[in-house]
Every structure is written in C-alpha cells, then in structure tokens.
Chain A
Amino acid sequence: QKEVEQDPGPLSVPEGAIVSLNCTYSNSAFQYFMWYRQYSRKGPELLMYTYSSGNKEDGRFTAQVDKSSKYISLFIRDSQPSDSATYLCAMTGSSNTGKLIFGQGTTLQVKP
C-alpha cells in the first residue's frame, strides 16, 4: 500500500464548476502538506502549503487538512480552462520539507 493515495482521474468538469481533489495517507507523522499543479511537460508549481490541520485559502483555491482522518483536499472554485492540469498532493513529517512523498496526481480537465 502506498503511503499517499490519490485518484489519478481523469476528472472532467464544466467551466465554473467547483472542483474537489483529495488525497489520503497512512503515515500519522506527516505534518506538512502541499498541493502542486503541473502543466503538461512542465515542472510542478506550488499552489498551497499547509502545516498541520485546518484550512487555508488563496484566491479560488482552498486547502483542507484533516489529520484525524488522514485526509487532505484541494477545492477550486469557479474553475477555468486554464486550471486544466495535473494536481499533485505532497506531504512530509520532516522539517526538511523538500523531502516529500507525492501522490500519483489527478488529471483535471475544465471544459469551456
């Protein structure tokens, strides 16, 4: 069993929809949680960074962490075609927060 599980999709939604992306994990030591966006043939780009449990909002993006359930989510409001990409969750229990365990990534397509 992988330490981080993420449904690879693909997920297809109409423009303007609310998108929910999720990851589950098994290691209770994880305390730093990140979401990266990766466009085709590009490097991962950091979207959200959260420490421990709780919510964090940045524009149309909201990240949620529920450590009791070992479950993290990324919500995208008013989704746009430019949001079409692969979304990767990543996490670590180490203060060396570049040592990340990644999910497989979920491919999202937002249709105009």
Chain B
Amino acid sequence: NAGVTQTPKFQVLKTGQSMTLQCAQDMNHNSMYWYRQDPGMGLRLIYYSASEGTTDKGEVPNGYNVSRLNKREFSLRLESAAPSQTSVYFCAHAPGSKTEAFFGQGTRLTVV
C-alpha cells in the first residue's frame, strides 16, 4: 500500500452533507498531498502539506479544507458536498524535495 492508508475506501454522500477523508502514512515522510482523479482529467492536486503544521492550496482547492494533524496524518474535509465532487481521491506522500511521491489506493466518493 506504499506506506499509506486511506479511509474510507468507498463513500456515498447526499448533496450538502459533510465528511472527512483520512490519510495516514507510516514512513515518517515530510510531505503529503491530496489529489482527485476524474475521467479524462488525469490527477489534479487539491492541497498539499510540505511539512507538519503547513498546508497550501493546489490546482483545485475550492470546496475543500485540509488538516495536517501531525506528521503521519493529513485529512481532507468536504464541508458541503456537491455532485461535482464525485471523484476518486488519492493521498500521496514523499520524503522531501526532489523525491518521488507514493500514492495510496484511493477513496471513491459519490455525491448524489
């Protein structure tokens, strides 16, 4: 699992509901990332955290918030889910700069 655990694996939400996607890595890496993958769009960066205590916006941050709870955990929150947020969400981590990123297995989210 590339040293990263995502929960839940599947989720169906109604429009307007909130939820938090959890990500935990066990490799003591500094950097963590949230991506979404949509058909025909590749993966797009939502938010990232270069180190514990810091977070920054990526390409598509609107409608999301994140928390870097500690070095291991990086959560993604949808405050009011919309159908446009139906996607597969991937958490990734990397040791530091100039190093490759390792991806989790994904959370499949459907908003109806």
Contact = CB atoms under 8 A, between A and B. Distances in A.
Tell me whether A and B are bound partners.
yes
Interface of A: 4, 6, 8, 32, 34, 36, 41-46, 49, 51, 88, 90, 95-100, 102-105
Given A100-B101, A104-B42, A43 B48 contact: no
A95 B98 contact: yes
Contacts of B104: 43
Nearest to B97: A95
Q: How large is the interface on B (under 10, 10 to 19, 20 to 34, 35 or more residues)?
A: 20 to 34
Nearest to B50: A96
A105 B100 contact: no
Interface of B: 2, 31-33, 40-45, 48, 50, 58, 90, 92-94, 97-106
Contacts of A43: 2, 90, 103-106
B103 A44 contact: yes
Contacts of B97: 95-97
Contacts of A88: 42-43
B98 to A, nearest CB: 5
Nearest to B32: A98
Given A32-B98, A43-B103, A45-B103, A102 B43 contact: yes
Given A99-B33, A105-B42, 17 more contacts: A32-B98, A42-B106, A44-B43, A44-B90, A46-B102, A51-B98, A88-B42, A88-B43, A95-B97, A96-B48, A97-B97, A97-B100, A98-B33, A98-B93, A98-B101, A99-B45, A100-B101
